Amino acid sequence: MIATPTPTVALVGNPNTGKTTLFNALAGMNQRVGNYPGVTVETKKGRLKHCDTAIDIIDLPGTYSLAPRSPDEMLTVNLLLGHDTAEPAPDAVITILDASNLERNLYLMTQVIELGRPVVVALNMMDVALSQGLKIDVAKLSQRLGVPIVPIQANKGIGLDPLKAAVLQAILDHQPAAGPTFSEAFEREITRLREVLTSSEPNYLLRRLLLDVGGHTEKTLTKKHGATLANAVASARQRLIASGQVLAGIEARVRYAWIRQAIAGCIERPAVRPVSMSDRLDRILTHRFWGTTIFLSVMFLLFVAIFQIASPAKWVLDLGRAQLAEWIVSALDPGPLRSLLIDGVIKGVGAVVVFLPQIMLLFAIIAFLEDCGYMARAAFLMDRLMARAGLNGKSFIPLLSSIACAVPGIMAARVIENTRDRLATILVAPLMSCSARLPVYSLLTVALLPAEAFGGLIHPLVMFCLYLLGLILAPLIALILKSTLLRGETPVFVMEMPLYKMPSFWTIWRRSWESGWMFLRRAGTFIFATMVLVWAALYFPTRDFEQRIAVFEIEMEGKENDKKKPYEEKINELQAEWKQQSILGQAGKWIEPVVRPLGWDWRIGVAALASFPAREVMVGTMGILFAQGEGDIEEDEYRNDMNSAIRDAHWPGEPDRKLFTIPVALSVMVFFALCCQCVSTLAAIRRETNSWGWPIFTFVYMTVLAYVGAFITYQVGSLF
Amino acid sequence: MGFPHPSNMPTMTLDQVQKNQSARIEGFIGDDVVLQRLMEMGLLEDEVIEVIGFAPLGDPMEIRLRDYCLSLRRSEAARVRVVILP
């Protein structure tokens, strides 16, 4: 009898075992992502069919052990136990094992067995095992382990039907297997612990409670059952240590001893391990010279690829945007609807879509690097450097990508398993100088700094310093975060170096497509909503500006090209006045005392406020506020107009006092280098941390940092 | 803490083993989550480990054990007592 109408099966396994490939092969296109509050990992759910029976399948995050150390890892254990979650425990568990690395893979399986669910083993990578000269007697192994074993080749879809049949059979039989047993002394302590509980807990968690010193089970259970349990655990551990046991080793010794005994006689090994292609490749790719050279080349290509794809994508988008806007202008009369469509909706959609090519390309590259096994080598090469910032080798790619754009960079931080390292990486990624800061930098440097200064090198020099600012501050802030907010034991950096293999096209495509879709769905709405809000804040109150501008526009249309200039100027003036009186403009005037110490007037303040959706918006807003209209800064004429407008700008009511002095320009640039005026970044952080707290924290700390940086720049600069 | 350390045995930890050398694990220093993690990954007494090499910046190191390769930081490897095999 099947207990539930649609039985559920969970898929667990070590990383690098082909687990995702198997899940995709089983569930096909039929999958969705499940999110749980308080955790950052995702579990995928899918449905598979076998002989008219449907089975729900849950893909759990890859792990080497079920000893939970974080809420993320606790979720996996709780899902498997059907404990503390809305869903019941799965009816069976598929454990995928790498046949070429059986002993270590079996460690996790012995833990899974202990959870009391029927287990089916999917033995993957038999071909790799064979190529290494390993011969596995599957039938004998199955008998020894007490679980059904189905040899599969996930990447070729071999063995899926027998696997599904075995799963159904296991659910029907409902025969939990027996794994290794702990010593009598240990089990006695478990019995004692059970007596002080206020309510019953699964046996597995009680074992974890005793074994994982400072682990997540200890934290949740002692909170739930109070000090009596905490004391009981402490004295139980004392007794075990007094009897000569090392707590950290109890579990591993029991399990590995059991595994060795179980597989004895089931595996035939060659007397001498053959040197594989993978070994030879590893020699080169981790070599002091060749390894570093190849690494730098790969990173350079990755960087150029995501940096370069941004501009054609933006070009196509701008073209589409201009076409659409033209069409709307011809179809609709001036008014809130037309403005909302052109300046709110189209810009909002554009702001979301513009990230897609970068995100999809970066994830395709990451999937490629992970799938072929190079990612672990890259982390291996970079670990020493990143460790100085309290991070680990896997933080390198997310931070590097952030120099092109923080949004894909933040998403790329998924490759970091350790939660605190991942969070620290996400929080400092927006400090890396991204490409959206370039328009702001170039507008101000070109307008204000004489090109011939410093032997003609002043512009690149300023640019370099601004990039350097991020490169220095990001690791510094990471270090501070890691020793304050994200303090905790130093994460253990033990990382498997998987075998090199041919990456699968489908895995890469799927990862790329999924990350793009995820961004659109989860972050897109947030970005879009903010764009519309900022539009409204700049649009209302309309008074009669819109009508007056329309009148001039109509008049201008009838004139010849050389007579249009005065009308354009009039329109630009009206636009500037309108923005001044808008909600955001008034807010800017209101905050002027706050930005004065930075050397800014209210217009710069408004431009900074209005750039909340994205930093480059600042340039357009400046154009409107300085009565030049919103044009294309790439265009020579508009750029020249903007440059002279900025050079000639003076303080309101003080015609002799220039607004943009060099200290002011530097202060603005430093502010934009350090602030988080980018709603997409915040949306990405919100999505990746599954919380509102972290994006708010990032915004606050970066804004404070930017303010202090700009303040120091202006004040120190004014001394000269 | 942990295992008794006979004073007549030469002290050697895994981080001191040279590239391409093999060593057998004798014991561990301490009792904490780092060791738990190492042991979960299969580093246990009497296991034979081969040092494949060190990263260009000197840390971490790559080792082979139980049919697979693992990278770990030297500070972690320093917790593993070993004897060099000829």
Can you give the pLDDT at residue A424?
A: 94
Can you give the pLDDT at residue A668?
A: 94
Indicate if A347 and A212 belong to the same structural domain. no
Residue A572 lies in a domain: no
Output A286 or A652, whichever has higher pLDDT.
A286
CA dihedral A61, A67, A73, A77 (to 10 degrees): 80
CA distance B1 to chain A (A): 9
A218 close contact with B: CB closer than 8 A: no
A292 close contact with B: CB closer than 8 A: yes
Indicate if A199 and A163 belong to the same structural domain. no
Q: Cβ–Cβ of B42/A67 closer than 8 Å?
A: no
A102 close contact with B: CB closer than 8 A: yes
The shortest CB-CB distance from B56 to any of A64, A291, A493 is to A291
List, for residues A324-374, the tens digit of each pLDDT value: 888 888 888 877 888 888 877 887 787 778 778 888 888 899 889 988 989
Is A2 a residue whose pLDDT tops 50? no
For chain A, percent of residues with pLDDT exceeding 90: 32
Indicate if A184 and A148 belong to the same structural domain. no
A260 close contact with B: CB closer than 8 A: no
Nearby residues of A633 by Cβ (< 8 Å), 6 or more positions away = A439, A442, A443, A619, A623, A639, A642
Q: Which residues of A touch B58 (CB under 8 A)?
A: 384
Indicate if A165 and A186 belong to the same structural domain. no
Q: Which residues of A touch B40 (CB under 8 A)?
A: 64-65, 67, 107, 251-252
Closest CA to A621 of A603, A641, A648, A634: A603
List, for residues A423-482, the tens digit of each pLDDT value: 999 999 999 988 788 888 888 888 888 777 777 778 888 888 888 899 899 999 999 999
Is A707 a residue whose pLDDT tops 90? yes
Is B28 a residue whose pLDDT tops 90? yes
Residue A409 lies in a domain: yes
Indicate if A128 and A28 belong to the same structural domain. yes
Q: What's chain A's average pLDDT?
A: 87
- Residue A196: CB atoms within 10 Å: 15
Is B34 a residue whose pLDDT tops 90? no
Can you give the pLDDT at residue B10?
A: 63
List, for residues A680-705, the tens digit of each pLDDT value: 899 999 988 988 999 999 999 999 99
Can you give the pLDDT at residue A467?
A: 87
Q: Which residues of A touch B60 (CB under 8 A)?
A: 380, 383-384, 393, 493
Indicate if A136 and A193 belong to the same structural domain. no
Judge whether A436 and A678 are in contact, CB under 8 Å.
Answer: yes
Output A57 or A4, whichever has higher pLDDT.
A57
Sign of the C-alpha dihedral computed for residues A204, A207, A209 and A212 taken in this order: negative
For chain A, percent of residues with pLDDT exceeding 70: 98
Residue A689 lies in a domain: no
Q: Which residues of A127-156 are buried (b: 16+ CB within 10 A; e: fewer)?
A: ebbeebebebeeeebbebbebbbbbbbbbe
Is A222 a residue whose pLDDT tops 60? yes
Indicate if A347 and A399 belong to the same structural domain. yes
Identify the domain containing residue A428 by its residue range. Answer: 275-432
- Say which range, A84-88, A118-122, A296-300, has the weakest mean pLDDT: A84-88
C-alpha span between A402 and A690 (Å, rounded):
20
Q: Cβ–Cβ of B55/A380 closer than 8 Å?
A: yes
Can you give the pLDDT at residue B32?
A: 85
CATH number for the domain spanning A107: value is 3.40.50.300
Can you give the pLDDT at residue A342?
A: 81
Question: At A37, is the pLDDT very low, low, confident or very high (cuts 50, 70, 90)?
Answer: low
List, for residues A474-525, the tens digit of each pLDDT value: 999 999 999 898 887 777 788 899 999 888 888 889 888 888 888 887 778 8
Indicate if A198 and A78 belong to the same structural domain. no
Can you give the pLDDT at residue A10?
A: 94
Residue A72 lies in a domain: yes
Q: What is the mean pLDDT of residues A245-250?
A: 85
List, for residues A541-597, the tens digit of each pLDDT value: 877 788 788 888 887 777 777 777 788 788 888 888 888 888 888 888 888 899 999
Q: What is the mean pLDDT of residues A115-131?
A: 92
Indicate if A24 and A138 belong to the same structural domain. yes
Is A1 a residue whose pLDDT tops 60? no
DSSP 8-state assignment for residue A294: H
C-alpha distances (whole Å) from A566 to each of A569, A570, A571 are 5, 6, 9
The reported pTM is 0.84
φ, ψ at B70 (rounded to 5°) = -135, 145
Can you give the pLDDT at residue A574?
A: 83
Indicate if A20 and A169 belong to the same structural domain. yes
Judge whether A224 and A218 are in contact, CB under 8 Å.
Answer: no
Pick from A129, A158, A173: which residue ends a domain?
A: A173
Can you give the pLDDT at residue B9?
A: 54
Residue A66 lies in a domain: yes
Tell the burial category of A397 from Cβ atoms under 10 Å away from its Cβ (0-12, 13-18, 19+).
buried
CA distance B10 to chain A (A): 22
Q: Cβ–Cβ of A497/B39 closer than 8 Å?
A: no
Determine the 3-state secondary structure of A611 from DSSP.
coil
CA distance A359 to chain B (A): 29
Sign of the C-alpha dihedral computed for residues A331, A336, A339 and A341 taken in this order: negative
Is A168 a residue whose pLDDT tops 70? yes
C-alpha span between A539 and A542 (Å, rounded):
6
C-alpha span between A390 and A404 (Å, rounded):
23
Instruction: Give the tokens for residue A3.
Output: 């207990």
Pick from A173, A194, A215: which residue ends a domain?
A: A173
Is B1 a residue whose pLDDT tops 50? no
Indicate if A320 and A378 belong to the same structural domain. yes
Is B6 a residue whose pLDDT tops 70? no
Can you give the pLDDT at residue A38?
A: 64
Can you give the pLDDT at residue B54?
A: 95
As for how many domains chain A has, the answer is: 3
Pick from A191, A223, A243: which residue ends a domain?
A: A243
CA distance A463 to chain B (A): 30
Beta bridge partners of B68: B65
Indicate if A18 and A153 belong to the same structural domain. yes
Out of A137-141, A346-350, A367-371, A659-663, the most confident range is: A137-141
**Interface mutation vs chain B, best among A218, A238, A292, A492, most B CBs within 10 Å:** A492
A219 close contact with B: CB closer than 8 A: no
Q: Which residues of A touch B28 (CB under 8 A)?
A: 246, 248-249
Q: Which residue type is seen at A191?
A: T
Q: Cβ–Cβ of B72/A494 closer than 8 Å?
A: yes
CA distance A69 to chain B (A): 10
Residue A33 lies in a domain: yes
**Interface mutation vs chain B, best among A208, A219, A261, A384, most B CBs within 10 Å:** A384
Per the document, the length of chain A is 720
Q: Which residues of A touch B30 (CB under 8 A)?
A: 248
Q: Which residues of A598-619 are buried (b: 16+ CB within 10 A; e: fewer)?
A: bbbbbbbbbbbbbbbbbbbbbb
Can you give the pLDDT at residue A40?
A: 66
List, for residues A591-601, the tens digit of each pLDDT value: 889 999 999 98
The single residue listed with the structure tokens 């009838």 is A558
